[in-house]
Structure 1
Amino acid sequence: MLIPEVPDLVSLLGHRAHLSAQGTTIYRGVHTTETGGAFALDIAGDAGVLSLYQDLSAQEETELATRCAEAAGLAGVYLKRRPVEARHTANVAREWLSPPNPVWGESRSEVTALESGVPFLIRPGGDLSTGLFTDARPAREYVRASAPARVLNTFAYTCGFGLSAALGGAETVKNVDLSRRVLSWGQDNYDLSGLSAPDTDFLYGDVFEWLARLQRRGDRFDLVVLDPPSFARGKTGIWRAEKDYGRLVALAAAVVAPGGRVLALLNHGGVGTEAFGRMIQTGLGQAGRSGRVTSRLTAGEDYPGARHLKIQAWTLD
């Protein structure tokens, strides 16, 4: 194989065995820090998602998938090819990057997996993103444990943060995303937990436009969750988190009630924790607000040595 050494997968997976006993059946089974950056394996019930960060032949891909399946006891393994330029080619080479059928074993078009006892609908072959970003599990647990009355979940994707807030007792939760498809997926996740999911709680459209609209309406929230992509192309141009995060924070701060919080996430290996904090501070200043860090979180224990994800909760004056 082109991968010089495949680590002891059974041993690595064994380090995560306690997660299932604790009600989590979707997690990172093997992280890139444990494979020299060559690949990662995610587990969702009895389905595996194998992410490749280097080129392999079809035979090598199948061989690696087989080893992962046997080590983890999986029914099927799906493949995600993740070259450096994947974020730019996803729309033109989607089926090559994320084949809809498993590279090994049985098909699982949908899997209902648990995170801390909460069910989520996962689609292993649907896209590069399968329905839940498992590295943000500590942040969702934070939201569920400390959910205030009014929560705004921006860049909601399949609404994991919104669902966590609702399960934590929030009275009002609004989820905003530019994709109707993922908002509908989020409503399915609400349904799995037996929660009401009216269309009025799922706001379709550009997050920046919605933040401005909510400000004009006078809507205020006790917690605003910011979980933007690190890079995106939109009708207003290119979004780069390392340059534009402060502007996002400024817009979000305008709809945070006094004493409310901003939970800011950044998935960007090139921005350090302190630099991220300065970006947030700058955004607050632009909005004429002040605040302080009250919690710092990182990726979950199944991401050993990971430094890509920064999570900071700020309480605003």
Structure 2
Amino acid sequence: MRKLKVKTLAANRLKKGYKALEEYDFKTMEDVAQGEFVEITDQNNNFIGKGYIGEEDRTVGWILTTNKDEPIDSNFYDRHFRMAQNARTAYYADKSTNAFRLFNASGDGIGGITIDYYDGFYIFSWFNKGLYDYREQIYQAFKVAIPDFKGIVEKIRFKNAEIQSRHVAGATPPEPLLIKENGIQYATYINEGWMTGIFLDQRNVRRRLMEEWGTGKTVLNTFSYTGAFSVAAAMGGAVKTVNIDAARRSKAKTIEQFEVNGLNPDDHEIRVIDVFDYLDYAKKHQLKFDIIILDPPTFARTKKRTFSVEKDYVGLVQEALEILADNGLLIASSNTWKLSRDDFYQMINEAFDKEEVDAYLLEEYGLPEDFKINEQYPESDYLKVMVLEKTS
């Protein structure tokens, strides 16, 4: 196994438990190949850890073990899969929810891969080609560790991959696959591209919409995707939801989500329109909403404009505040690792200050427990959800 030296600052960071290898950690990457297993040392040749090279958006590889004598083989993967499953026993036993994250990359010890559970089907998401080159060995270890799967599907999320999604083993998931979350059904599509129709990391927010916030309220769900937030609110007694998304596919998907729960989609508004155009429309027509949900993608482009959370979120919040009812709730969410919790909160406060609106932070959410994070790798704790109540 080749030895690679890292710079002093990188060595200090890695010794504290940081697992990601970044290009500037090294004076040179020499001719290291994707997928190559390497031994990482400091400038004095002191052992730090063993891992592999695999390029992602911001990393070039991952530390897998700090035990010099531990082999990275089938037993290594088997052991990590078993530990992950044991840590999520309560999720397997939950009769009201049958979709969750089984394995969360570096949080569970193997950066570059996540595994989601959808009612007996497992979805592997691969984030770099380096680890993906070992997929056969990893799949075999998984089948030994967790043999009672219905089927396995993979999502290939790294650049220049020939495909996005592929069936790997067992049965092919039905279309749609109806999963349960907090007793609510959601139609998911496991065999289509990267997206399945629901973001599992927002489970706790949807629970609160169903159990408490939504009762008797009007809800504006921007960047609504398949309307999962709205379905949760409606199941909790919301009188009306308005679902806004620029993607044409969103309307049919949202209608389906209401229908699989016995809700009449005609009682709700589902519009294919740019979010900012709708906010402008709502202001002109003096519409007001009790709850407004702002959960945009990190970056989006429509025919009219591009949206970036870092550049445009303050303006988005400002626009939303103009149509938020007094004592209404603003649910502000971001899933980019580029913004810290404090930076995101500061952006929200900036928008409130500019609009001269008072509010207090009612509740705050991060990743649910099944999305295990690496405490020494703050970028893994990417989700930030802040619920603010507008004071009259």
Normalised TM-score (structure 2): 0.73
Residue deviations 1:229-263 (CA, integer Å, cap 9, x gap): 01122223432101211011011111100110100
Matched residue of 1:50: which SS? strand
Q: 1:255-279 CA deviation, whole Å, 9 max, x = no partner?
A: 1001101001100112111111111
Equivalent in the alignment of 2:281: 213
Match of 1:75 among 150, 160, 173: 150
CA distance in 2 between partners of 1:296 and 1:41 (Å): 26
**Partner residue of 1:276?**
344
Is the 1:250–1:285 contact (alpha carbons within 8 Å) kept by the matching residues of 2? no
Distance 2:317 2:308 in 1: 14
Report the counterpart of residue 123 of structure 2 in structure 1.
Answer: 49
Which residue number in structure 2 is paired with residue 167 of structure 1?
235
Residue identity matched to 1:17: T
- Distance in 2, matches of 1:236 and 1:199, equals 29
Distance 2:119 2:338 in 1: 32
Partner of 2:81: 9
Which position in structure 2 is the counterpart of 1:40?
114
Structure 2 unmatched ranges of 5 or more: 1-34, 37-51, 53-71, 374-379
Structure-1-length-normalised TM-score? 0.90
Matched, 1:108 2:173: yes
Q: Go from structure 1 to structure 2 and tell me whether the alpha carbon gap of 1:69 and 1:46 turns closer, same or farther (over 3 Å shift).
A: farther
CA contact (8 A) 1:97 1:128 kept: no
Correspondence for 1:140 among 188, 206, 220: 206
Distance 1:57 1:136, change over 3 A: closer
1:169 partner SS: coil
Q: Could you tell me which residue of structure 2 aligns to residue 230 of structure 1? A: 298
The structure-2 alpha-carbon separation of the partners of 1:112 and 1:47, relative to structure 1 and needing over 3 Å to count, comes to same
Q: Deviations over 1:184-233 (max 9, x none)?
A: 11221211111111285111111111111111111100100111001122
Between the aligned partners of 1:76 and 1:66, the Cα distance in structure 2 is 13
Please tell me whether Structure 1 or Structure 2 has the larger radius of gyration of its CA atoms: 2
In structure 1, the gaps of 5 or more residues are none
Q: What is the alpha-carbon root mean square deviation over aligned residues?
A: 2.1
- 2:240 touches 2:268 (CA, 8 Å); kept in 1? no
Over 3 Å counting, the alpha-carbon distance change for 1:211 and 1:106 in structure 2 is: same
- 1: distance between equivalents of 2:298 and 2:230? 20
1:28 pairs with 2:128? no
**Conservation of the 8 A alpha-carbon contact between 1:223 and 1:262:** yes
Q: Is the 8 A contact 1:48 1:76 kept in 2?
A: yes
Deviation at residue 134 of structure 1 after TM alignment: 0.6
Q: By how many angstroms is 1:61 displaced?
A: 2.2
Are the counterparts in 1 of residues 250 and 272 from structure 2 also a CA contact under 8 Å? Answer: no
Structure 1 residue 137 displacement after superposition: 0.6
Bigger shift: residues 268-277 or 237-246: 237-246
User: Cα 1:56–1:310, aligned 2, differ >3 Å: closer, same or farther?
Assistant: same
Q: How many residues align?
A: 307
8 Å contact kept, 1:222–1:261: yes
Q: Give, in whole Å, the separation in 2 of the partners of 1:57 and 1:10.
A: 19
SS of the aligned residue for 1:78 comes to strand
Determine whether 1:129 maps to 2:195.
Answer: yes
Letter in structure 1 aligned against 2:150: A
Shift of 1:292: 1.7
Partner amino acid, structure 1, of 2:102: G
What is the SS of the residue equivalent to 1:8?
helix
Residue from 135, 138, 153 that aligns with 1:61: 135
Structure 1 residues 199, 117: CA separation in 2 closer, same or farther (over 3 Å shift)?
closer
Cα distance in structure 2, aligned partners of 1:28 and 1:238? 31
CA contact (8 A) 2:80 2:109 kept: no
Could you report, residue by residue, the CA deviation over 1:17-71 in whole angstroms, capped at 9, with x for unpaired residues? 2223322111101001213322110011121110112215876323323433453
User: Structure 2 CA distance, aligned partners of 1:66 and 1:158?
Assistant: 34
Query: AA paired with 1:282?
Result: E
- In the alignment, the residues of structure 2 paired with residue 50 and residue 28 of structure 1 have an alpha-carbon distance, to the nearest angstrom, of 10
**Are the equivalent residues in 1 in contact too, given 2:240–2:267 (CA < 8 A)?**
no
Alpha-carbon offset, residue 141 of structure 1? 1.1
Identity between Structure 1 and Structure 2 (%): 24
